[in-house]
Amino acid sequence: MLKASLKKWGFILVVILFDLLVALRTSIDFFYFFFFFLIANIVISLSWIALEYILAEVYLIRNISSRVVEDDYLEVEVTVRSKSFIPLVNFILRDDLACAPDSQRRKEVLIPYLGSNSLITINYRCLCPKRGRYTIGPFTIYLFDPWGVFFLRKNYEISSELYVYPKIFNIRKFPPLIKGSVPWFGIEINRVSGDEHDFFGVREYKPGDPIKKIHWLSTARKNNLIVKEFQQRAFFNATIVFDLDKDKNFGEGKNSVAEYIIKVAASVADYLIQRNVSLEIIAHAGEMIHLPFNKGPDHLEDILRALTVAQAESRIDLGELLNEHCDKVARNSTMIVIMLDDDWQYLPALLAAEKRDVLLIPIVLLASSFLYQSTEQKVIKSAQFRFPQSSKFSPVFISCGEDLEGAFLK
């Protein structure tokens, strides 16, 4: 409608100029009358929208979800409330949807009528094709004259924050993890009495020990109170490591190395958290990303939010990241490294982790498949990589364009 209004304004301007030119040349009264008639209508129209602009009291409330997933739709609900004593007719509400594709970012809704001291609710949606943090808004209202020719606009600085999370794929099979014995919150093993722990041995009774934990057979044998002792069950710890190297972000858009790394990291994190694994994230994306060991939905939410805003801005390579942080990976845990196939020059740093009883699981992206996205992928995928015989690597190979769920089934 805005474009149509501009066209109308251009057409009327041409008519006025043409009519004035004819009137001056012919001195015919009709053309003078028609000229002043058009000028009068323009004055009335401009007065109308000026009155609307000054007196209109419009309040806007936008309701959206704080998060959606890539390739999902954002549902928007807007409440438009008028507190002015004059009605508003044929005005346009425009919202800036930064998460939408470029051609759909400006959402315009025509509101035919809004009575005085009344409200209406408007619903619309947009596709969110790319992960990231976005600011939705501001609003703009365009007030038109009765003929829809002239308009004035009012800006409303009402913004909403939106996170478009990376899309997660289903992992049905994953290399086995190593079971550690360090609790997820980092405290050493405690030997306590309790049914929810594994049996450790017996010891002498101490004040405060539950009577039901007394080991009666040992008590009778030693003629002294003996209780059963337990230790906390060992469970799984895992660390995901990756580097979003700007110089190695081959490919474009969603078929880029960085987007694949983010998608794989998000999916692996979801898989592990769902299985009660204590998870840590060590990464670099222009700045250091470190999310310490934790479990549960809240921890997964923190991970996904960090992955949502991460960009391929790192100026350090994977080797530097490993050398600085690899020795901090917890013993008796699993380190999942998402890397390119040409990052095997950093193999010594990876092998150093094995000496600390850290199980390594490399998830290897085939760089050439991102550079040459064609049938050559079949040749690339058939390439064989040799690992040290003493290593316990369980690598997962991924090439651009392949079914990611299927990659973890091989």
What is the structure's pLDDT at 108?
93
Residue 230: what pLDDT? 57
pLDDT of res. 263: 97
| CATH ID of 236-407, from 3.40.50.410, 3.50.50.60, 3.30.230.70, 3.40.50.720 | 3.40.50.410
d(CA 263, CA 253): 13
Note the pLDDT of residue 392: 63
DSSP of 252-307, one letter per residue?
Answer: ETTEEHHHHHHHHHHHHHHHHHHTT-EEEEEEESSSEEEEEEE-HHHHHHHHHHHH
**Distance (Å, rounded) from C-alpha 72 to C-alpha 127?**
6
Residue 229 confidence (pLDDT): 66
Predicted local confidence at residue 207, as pLDDT: 77
Query: What pLDDT sits at residue 328?
Result: 80
Q: For the packed helices 2-26 and 29-55, what is the interaxial angle rounded to 10 degrees?
A: 150
d(CA 261, CA 338): 7
Q: Which is nearest to 351 in space by CA: 362, 341, 360, 340?
A: 360
Compute CA 348 distance to the chain's CA centroid, rounded to the nearest angstrom: 34
Q: Is 150 helix (H, G, I), strand (E, B) or coil?
A: coil
Q: Model-level pTM?
A: 0.76
With beta carbons less than 8 A apart as the criterion, state whether 93 and 109 touch: yes
Give pLDDT < 70 ranges for the chain. 1-9, 179-202, 229-235, 373-393
Q: What confidence score (pLDDT) does residue 223 get? A: 79
Residue with tokens 């999310």: 291
User: What CATH class is the domain 1-165?
Assistant: mainly beta
Supply 42's token pair. Answer: 């323009």
Which residues have a Cβ under 8 Å from the Cβ of 3 and sit 6 or more positions away?
none
- Is-cis flag, bond preceding 138, omega within 30? yes
**Domain ranges (residues) in the chain:** 1-165, 191-231, 236-407
Token duo for residue 75: 């549902």
